Amino acid sequence: MHIQPEYNKGFTLLELMVTVAIAGILVGIAIPSFTSIIISTRLTTYANQLVTSLNLARSEAIKRGIQVTVKRKGPSGSLYQWEYGWDVFVDRDGNNTFTDNGNSTLCETGEDCLLKTYDALPAGYTLRTAAQNFTGYLPSGLSSRGLPDTFRLCNGADTSTSRSIALTTAGRARVSTGTASCP
């Protein structure tokens, strides 16, 4: 019986270098499109976060039988800029301003009740509207402003991936892709 010698079953250096080069080319092609997917997914998430807060305010207004307001946070010089975050609160006096006496007891008689607060969007994302720093809902579920409005959610100046959140006078929010302008 004749026994054949076993040969090394590994890769040669040349085969390894060709494989690494092909993998590098594929990664180089895939990363730009993966980045756009990440941006698109984040924009969808932030748009859904705003719609969720508007739906929360509307349902709480109907349930509680009192106006509920969604108001932007941020410096006073940043009119119509919602990227600093926003609050959803029961607006007992209907003045669209959160009123609390500052003590440790929350939601006392005569003061507003904070339902939820939303943090600022990450740097590079903007959330703007043309004409309001707040929106509210009456106990009927209708918008307290009685006017339609559109929020524009953008990452930079790219309008192709941006989101538009249209708010009707009936208080319903609808999201679509693309806006006319981004700041």
What is the CATH number for 20?
3.55.40.10
Phi, psi of 52 (to 5 degrees): -60, -40
Q: What's the number of domains the chain is made of?
A: 1
The more confidently predicted of residues 95 and 1 is: 95
Phi, psi of 97 (to 5 degrees): -130, 135
Instruction: Please compute the mean of the pLDDT values over residues 108-131 and round it to a whole number.
Output: 88
Q: Is residue 5 part of a domain?
A: no
Structural domain boundaries enclosing 114: 13-177
Q: Is residue 6 part of a domain?
A: no
d(CA 19, CA 13): 10
The residue among 118, 135, 134, 119 whose CA lies nearest residue 171 is 135
CA atoms within 13 A on the CB side of 44: 6
Q: Is residue 7 part of a domain?
A: no
- pTM of the entire predicted model: 0.79
Return the residue matching tokens 């006078």. Answer: 169
Q: Is residue 125 part of a domain?
A: yes
Q: Is residue 44 part of a domain?
A: yes
Q: Is residue 4 part of a domain?
A: no
Given a contact cutoff of 8 angstroms between Cβ atoms, the answer to whether 75 and 84 are in contact is yes
Given a contact cutoff of 8 angstroms between Cβ atoms, the answer to whether 69 and 144 are in contact is yes
pLDDT confidence bin for 183, thresholds 50/70/90: confident
pLDDT confidence bin for 1, thresholds 50/70/90: low
> E strands of 55-140, at which residues?
68-72, 86-90, 113-118, 125-129, 134-137
Given a contact cutoff of 8 angstroms between Cβ atoms, the answer to whether 137 and 61 are in contact is yes
AA identity, residue 72: R
Residue 30 Rama label (left phi>0; alpha psi -120 to 50; beta): alpha
Structure tokens of 111?
């003061």
| Residue 62: pLDDT over 90 | yes
pLDDT of residue 103: 73
Containing 15, the helix (H) or strand (E) segment is helix 13-64
AA identity, residue 84: Y
